[in-house]
Amino acid sequence: MDQMIRLGSYLWPYRRRLFLSVVFALLISFLWSLNLSITFPIVRVLFENDSLHSYVDKEIDSANQQIATYTANLDQMTEEQIEPRARMQRKLTSATQSLVLNKWIRSSVLPYVPEDKFRTILCILCLVIFASTLKGVIVYLQELLVGGLVQATANDIRRHTFENIMRLDYQSVHELGTAKLTSRLTNDVTEMSAGLHMFGAQLIREPLKAIGCIVAALMFNWRLTCISILVMPAIGYLFYRSGRTMRRAAKSTMETMGSIYHTVSETLDSTRVVIAFDGVDHHRKQMEAANTEYYTNSMKMIRVSAMIRPVTELLGIVAFTLVLIPGAYLVLNNTDEIAGVKLASGPLGIAELTTLYVLMAGSLDPIRKLSGVFPVLKRSFAAAERVFSVTDQKSRVPETASPVNVNPHCRSIEFRNISYRYHSEASNAPSGQWTLNSIDLKIPFGEVVAIVGGNGSGKSTLISLLPRLIDPDQGCVRIDDVDIRNMSFRQLRSQIGLVTQDTMLFDDTIYNNVLYGNPDATPEEVEAAIRRAHAADFISLLPQGLSTRIGAKGQKLSGGQKQRISLARAIVRNPSILIMDEATSAIDAESEAIIYEVMDEFARDRTVFIISHVIGQRFLDLVDRIVVLERGQIVANGTHAELIRTCPEYSRLVQPDVTVSKAAWRSVPPGCWASAPIASTVCWGENHDRSGMYGSPVDSQCGLFDGFG
CB atoms within 10 A of CB 707: 13
> Is residue 499 a contact partner of residue 566, using CB atoms and an 8 Å limit?
yes
Do 581 and 706 belong to one domain? Answer: no
Contact 238, 340 (CB under 8 A): no
DSSP 339: T
DSSP letters, 381-404, are HHHHHHHHHHHTPPPSSPPPSSPP
Helices (H) and strands (E) in the chain, counts: 26, 14
430 and 547 assigned to the same domain: yes
357 and 249 within one domain:
yes
Among 615, 631, 651, residue at a domain's last position = 651
Same domain, yes or no, for 640 and 679?
no
Statement to judge: residues 441 and 319 lie in one domain: no
Does residue 376 contact residue 302 with C-beta atoms inside 8 Å?
A: no
pLDDT mean values, one per 10 residues, the chain (709 residues) = 82 89 90 83 71 80 86 83 83 84 84 81 86 91 90 91 88 82 86 84 83 83 78 72 72 77 77 77 85 83 75 75 79 77 73 81 78 77 86 88 88 92 61 83 92 85 90 92 92 89 84 91 92 88 88 82 88 90 68 78 88 77 89 89 86 58 43 38 38 37 36
Parallel/antiparallel/unpaired status of strands 474-479 and 482-483: antiparallel
Residue-range definition of the domain harbouring residue 624: 412-651
Give me the residues paired with residue 610 across strands.
450, 580
697 in the same domain as 550: no
Give the DSSP per-residue string, 284-298.
Answer: HHHHHHHHHHHHHHH
Angle between helices 52-76 and 82-108 (to 10 degrees): 160
366 lies in the same domain as 420: no
Say yes or no: 26 and 156 in one domain.
yes
Say which CATH number the domain at 11 has: 1.20.1560.10
Is the residue at 66 inside a domain?
A: no
Domain edge (last residue) among 360, 391, 422: 391
Cα separation, 110 vs 100, in Å, equals 14
81 inside domain: no
661 and 639 co-located in one domain: no
Residues 353, 497, single domain; the answer is no
In a domain, 521, yes or no: yes
pTM (predicted TM-score):
0.70
Instruction: Specify burial of residue 378 (Cβ count, 10 A radius: 0-12, 13-18, 19+).
Output: buried
Beta strands in 529-618 (DSSP E): 577-581, 607-612
Q: Are residues 424 and 525 in the same domain?
A: yes
Final residue before a domain boundary, out of 602, 632, 651: 651
Q: Judge if 687 and 565 occupy the same domain.
A: no
> How many domains are contained in the chain?
3
CA distance 352 to 327: 9
Distance, CA of 322 to CA of 324 (rounded, Å): 6
CATH number at residue 647: 3.40.50.300
49 φψ region: left (φ > 0), alpha (ψ -120 to 50), beta (else): left
Q: What one-character DSSP code corresponds to residue 188?
A: I
For residue 602, tell me if it sits in a domain. Answer: yes
Q: Is residue 528 part of a domain?
A: yes
What CA–CA distances, in Å, run from 500 to 16, 249, 554, 558? 50, 42, 14, 15
Q: Quick check: is 583 in a domain?
A: yes
In a domain, 107, yes or no: no
Separation of alpha carbons 206 and 25, rounded Å? 8
